[in-house]
Amino acid sequence: MIEFAQNTTLEPLLDHLKFDRRMTSPQKFESFPDIAANEKSSVKRLLSELQHKFSDSVDVAYLIESEVSSRTADLYRRANYDSLTHLPNRAHLHDILENMIQGTEHKGSVFSLLFLDLDGFKAVNDTQGHHIGDELLRHVSGRLISSVREGDIVSRLGGDEFVVLLAETENRTEVEDVCQRIINEVSRPYWFEGQEVRTSTSIGVSMFPQDSKLASELIETADEALYVSKSKGKRTFRFYNDVKQEVPAHKHIIQARFDAAVLNSEFATYVEPQIDLKENRVVGGHLSIEWQTADENQQSLESWQHLLAGNPAESSISLWLLDSACFYLKQWLKVDAEFVVTVPIMEGLWRQEDFAELLNQRVKQYGIPSSQLQLAFSLKSFDVFDQGLRDCLQQLSDQGYQLTLTGLGGQSFNFSMLVGLNIQEFKFDEVWLHEQLETRSGQQWVKALIQMAKSLDACMIATGIISESQVQNLTEWGCTLGQGAYWSAPIEAAEFKQLMI
């Protein structure tokens, strides 16, 4: 029973009773004062009568208690849970994490924090709409919950970022099993409105108390491990303790250095010769950009390309690389009329609506044959079914351009994207290839992919070749082209012509 203090203001209650009489028995209102007939009565007297009449009313007490309880629960949900996925939000995660730290410190136990995001999520939003992106986030949330153990906690920080808390993880193998299960589950196809949608995830792992005893630092170190994980390729996970030497500075510092490098033009074009393995002669070159850092180290495009994502410099760097390829191809054709230049095409360039027209203008301007300008697209772009990318590739193929897909073996992709496309070359992922060449079962996979390329009337390119035995094996298995330190390190593009003469 609710008792009202003498000075309690009952206007809100009065309003509530006016609008919600259907929830209270009509008989209760038979002796309710007629306000219109008693206009001269004071508000104080009216409220006093209300207090007297309903102070013992179970209906009103229940009504008020229910309303307060409902509103309190609603406010709690809004403050602590994500409205889209109904997972704990960032603020609630910090509270949970602080409680876990305090609880495990007393027991001396260990727990792990997984920081993960979705590969290719932006492409889903851009090409299929935010409503599909929201549905994808909901389904991913469900798969995350199904992938963890009882008692573990899944939280959404915002956007496509999630955190998973794994309680009592003394055994590292158990953490690795959960990470792999999450990667496998999240990477399975999704279907929305009759269309297949694909994404994958990369994970960074920090452990309490090994990596930190502070909630904010545990999240930060896991995020840094994720940063390294993504730089190694998609569908991977890394423990912070294993890779902390590879995180020289926080992400924002690295990004700031890169932005300064763009302003200071700390980049140069390099070409790596491509060798016909059967004839043992140079038939082409792979053109790329290297970042020449202040300490005079050279960083390949693959190691910093992720810094271009969403960066205004992506389009200008991509266009500069394309212009360089056209310019040097014109020079090198004077020495070898059949020479082919391969140039990476970044997302910021091919997503431009007028990309095909822009490319045609460059080819015409430099007077080079389109068939000898090999356009390389990373298989990272094929994680999701992107109709825009597929249309772009089809248009380029129809206009006579040669297409190369890079990263084969080290990168999962959607095979349905390739149906009907004319792909001339596939290029092995360098790290993956080296790992496979060390084992008999791995070599079988290399052979199988070479045969796959042959069945599609495409060439296979092996990268990072360092020994005669690798050359002999790959040639025997039917690999067409090779590049690597066995023949030559990347050479500055301006000096390459001298080596061709």
CA dihedral 375, 378, 383, 387 (to 10 degrees): -20
pLDDT band at 94 (very low <50, low <70, confident <90, very high): confident
CA distance 161 to 84: 13
Where does CATH 3.30.70.270 sit in the chain?
A: 90-247
pLDDT band at 386 (very low <50, low <70, confident <90, very high): low
Whether residue 2 is predicted with pLDDT greater than 50 in this model: the reply is no
Q: Which H, E and C letters describe 434-474, residue by residue?
A: HHHCCCHHHHHHHHHHHHHHHHCCCEEEECCCCCHHHHHHH
- Asked whether the bond before 248 is cis by omega within 30 degrees of 0, the reply is no
Instruction: Map tokens 């009907």 to a residue.
Output: 420
Q: Is the dihedral of CA 139, 143, 146, 151 positive or negative?
A: negative
Type and span of the H or E element at 162 = strand 161-166
- Residue pLDDT, tens place only, 98-148: 888 888 777 778 899 999 999 878 778 777 888 888 999 999 999 999 999
Stretch 352-367: mean pLDDT: 89
- Residue pLDDT, tens place only, 473-489: 999 999 999 999 899 88
Whether residue 411 is predicted with pLDDT greater than 70 in this model: the reply is no
CA distance 237 to 39: 74
Class of domain 253-500: alpha beta
Are 284 and 272 contacting, i.e. CB atoms less than 8 angstroms apart?
A: no
pLDDT band at 62 (very low <50, low <70, confident <90, very high): low
The CATH number of 90-247 is 3.30.70.270
pLDDT band at 21 (very low <50, low <70, confident <90, very high): very low
Among candidates 288, 322, 286, 281, which has minimal Cα distance to 303? 288
Among candidates 290, 285, 289, which has minimal Cα distance to 333? 285
Which residues of 330-470 form beta strands (DSSP E)? Answer: 340-344, 373-378, 402-408, 425-428, 459-462
Q: Structure pTM?
A: 0.56
Tokens of 52: 């007297």
- Residue pLDDT, tens place only, 251-305: 666 777 777 777 777 788 899 999 999 999 999 999 988 887 665 566 777 767 7
When mean pLDDT is compared across 26-40, 152-166, 204-218, 420-434, the lowest value belongs to 26-40
pLDDT band at 75 (very low <50, low <70, confident <90, very high): low
Q: Mean pLDDT over all residues of the chain? A: 80
pLDDT band at 65 (very low <50, low <70, confident <90, very high): low
Where does CATH 3.20.20.450 sit in the chain?
A: 253-500
